Amino acid sequence: MPTPKRLTCQMCRSKEPHEPLTSNEKGWLQRQLGNRIGDDYYKCVNTRPDDKVCLSIRRLSVEKHFRLTKRLPDNPDDLD
């Protein structure tokens, strides 16, 4: 099982705390991408200046995995 890590965030432009995706988040990302994903996807959990959590997604080994930055929805209900 992946563990939280400090990784570089493309949106925050610095090393920030990242957590592995939950099963609901992984399901949402799989539907967005149209293919299965592994356990190496992480979300940034840094609090932005607007008091929202960043939630940008990256792979463990690749900082800029997506051409355009991909974020999880702010509302957890939107993951379904």
Report the distance separating Cα 42 and Cα 44, nearest Å.
7
Please indicate, yes or no, if residue 58 is contained in any of the structural domains: yes
Residue numbers of the domain that contains 37: 5-62
8-23, pLDDT tens digit by residue?
Answer: 999 999 999 999 999 9
- How many alpha carbons fall within 13 Å on the CB side of residue 72? 30
Which pLDDT score, from 0 to 100, does residue 67 have? Answer: 83
Of 6, 5, 9, the C-alpha closest to 48 is 9
Please indicate, yes or no, if residue 19 is contained in any of the structural domains: yes
Looking at the predicted structure, is the pLDDT value of residue 64 above 90?
A: no
CB 20 within 8 A of CB 5: no
Please indicate, yes or no, if residue 80 is contained in any of the structural domains: no
Query: What average pLDDT score do residues 47-72 get?
Result: 91
Which pLDDT score, from 0 to 100, does residue 32 have? Answer: 93
Tokens of 28: 């949402």
Please indicate, yes or no, if residue 74 is contained in any of the structural domains: no
Please indicate, yes or no, if residue 70 is contained in any of the structural domains: no
The amino acid at residue 48 is R
Residue where the block lists tokens 């967005």: 32
